[in-house]
Amino acid sequence: MNKNKSYVLIFVAFMLATSLVVSLIMTFHFQQDTSKLRFELTQKYKEIKDQEYTYDKKRGKALYQDLCMKCHGEQGRGNSIYPPLYASEIALEKNPKKLIKVVTKGLQGKIKRQNKLYQGAMPAFGAIPAKDLAHILNFTRKTFGDPKHTDISAVDVIKIKIDTVERTSPWEEKDL
Ligand code: HEC
102 touches 122 (CB < 8 A): yes
Cα 22 to middle of ligand 1, angstroms: 36
Residue type, 54: T
Q: Ligand 1 pocket test: which of 61, 65, 67, 71 has the largest number of ligand atoms within 8 Å of its C-beta?
A: 71
Query: What distance in Å separates the CA atoms of residue 4 and residue 123, rounded to the nearest whole number?
Result: 53
Minimum CA distance residue for ligand 1 atom 12: 120
Q: What sign does the dihedral 75-113-97-148 (CA atoms) show?
A: positive
How would you write the pLDDT of the chain (176 residues) with one tens digit per residue? 677 888 889 999 999 988 888 888 777 666 667 889 999 999 999 999 999 999 999 999 999 999 999 999 999 999 999 999 998 999 999 999 999 999 999 999 999 999 999 999 999 999 999 999 999 999 999 999 989 999 999 999 999 999 999 999 999 999 99
106 touches 170 (CB < 8 A): yes
Query: What distance in Å separates the CA atoms of residue 119 and residue 139, rounded to the nearest whole number?
Result: 25
Query: What distance in Å separates the CA atoms of residue 154 and residue 103, rounded to the nearest whole number?
Result: 13
Q: Is 159 exposed, middle or buried (0-12, 13-18, 19+ CB in 10 A)?
A: middle
